[in-house]
Amino acid sequence: MKPSRTLLLTEELIALDSITPNDKGCQQRLIELLAPLGFQCETIESNGVTNLWARKGTESPVFVFAGHTDVVPTGPVHQWESAPFTPTQRDGKLYGRGASDMKTSIAAMVIACEEFIGANPDHQGSIAFLITSDEEGPAVDGTVVVCDLLEERGETLDYCVVGEPTSSHVLGDMIKNGRRGSLSGHLVVKGIQGHIAYPHLARNPIHQAAPALAELTAEVWDEGNEYYAPTSFQISNMASGTGATNVIPGHLALDFNFRFSTASTAEGLEARVHAILDRHGLDYDLQWTLSGQPFLTEKGTLSDALCAAIGEELGVQTELSTTGGTSDGRFIARICPQVIEFGPPNASIHKIDEHIELRYIDPLKNIYRRTLESLLAA
């Protein structure tokens, strides 16, 4: 049986060792396929990161496929059963770094467009691709750069499907209609170092901080909402002391993180943390890093079209979810009112022997095509 075009393109992309932030020619291959379909393709370089903005059409509505060509490092190559950048089929699966995160999605998007445009040459609106090689890295020179440029130009987007691996157990059982924000803090509580036998001459920052930390961990930051679980506060690192058993430390340093919902704001969380620390009379420094705002697409046109496409193709009932880490959807949501993430099962992402089941590759393409048909067919 002749392999499908989606499978062949997926294998082509996996074979390019595009470890973040290197694209290694993935986007050039996409341009070679998209330009003949009528896409105007623009490569946007930023500090060694390669981004692609490709658009066919000038009218609204604008439907965007978004994703990333970069992959995480392989880890110990000798632990892979087959070479990570040699796409290998065995036991009904396709193995290779990026198989599920997210080169199959990108291949499926491109072939879905080929089929849709072939059947609907006079389709409504516009189709676009926003592809980066900086999603798995710092994410400061990738999708956000393209979104800033589009905003400066006044280009408006209507729908965006991000090809992140969102499925849980089987293809299509879960899509993401939002993501939590991520707010990190680096806290240094200041004390006075001294001999442990003379505590009155020192000030132990661990003892001073303990009641405040207990309050921070017990605080109910919000109740969440229809789409989000309550905001979570977690301490990730803590360090203090000299290593000696007879020295009261001079400071306590710790890192913590909020994964927060749209029921809270970064500014509100910061203010409440400072209020707790101040109430306990701590001498401290606190540095904040906001790496992502939460975003939410409520049930509507795009989620309905995607869920219907999944049901028609697979007979699977889809769950809308906002769980998981951050994604580039947070940047796109600033300029696009409806952003949904959907892609392969995520059980093997970032792992040794990453893979996707072969039986899911063409249905994924068909779901993307069906979604286009629902929203842009003439």
Annotated catalytic, 312?
Answer: no
Q: Which two tokens stand for residue 41?
A: 């393709």
Pair of tokens at residue 177: 């209609």
Whole-angstrom distance, CA of residue 341 vs CA of residue 339: 7
- Rounded Cα distance between 97 and 15, Å, is 9
Q: Show Cβ contacts of residue 278 under 8 Å, excluding neighbours closer than 6 positions.
A: none
Max CA distance (Å), the chain: 84
| Long-range CB contact pairs, 209-216, < 8 A, 24+ | 209/252, 209/280, 209/282, 211/280, 212/276, 212/277, 212/279, 212/280, 212/282, 213/254, 215/276, 215/280, 216/256, 216/273, 216/276
Count of Cβ atoms closer than 10 Å to residue 242 Cβ: 11
Exposed (0-12), middle (13-18) or buried (19+): which is 109, by Cβ within 10 Å? buried
Q: Residue 91: CB partners within 8 Å, gap ≥ 6?
A: none
- Please identify which of the residues 23, 101, 114, 135 carries the catalytic annotation: 135
In degrees, rounded to 5, the angle at the alpha carbon of residue 71 between the alpha carbons of residues 102 and 152 is 80
CA distance 364 to 107: 10
Cβ atoms within 10 A of the Cβ of 48, count? Answer: 12
Check 11, 23, 70, 313 and give the catalytic one: 70
Distance between CA atoms of residues 37 and 233, nearest Å: 48
Is 135 tagged catalytic?
yes
The C-alpha atoms of residue 19 and residue 17 are separated, in whole angstroms, by: 6
What are the structure tokens assigned to 9, written together? Answer: 């393109």
Which residues are part of the catalytic machinery? 70, 135
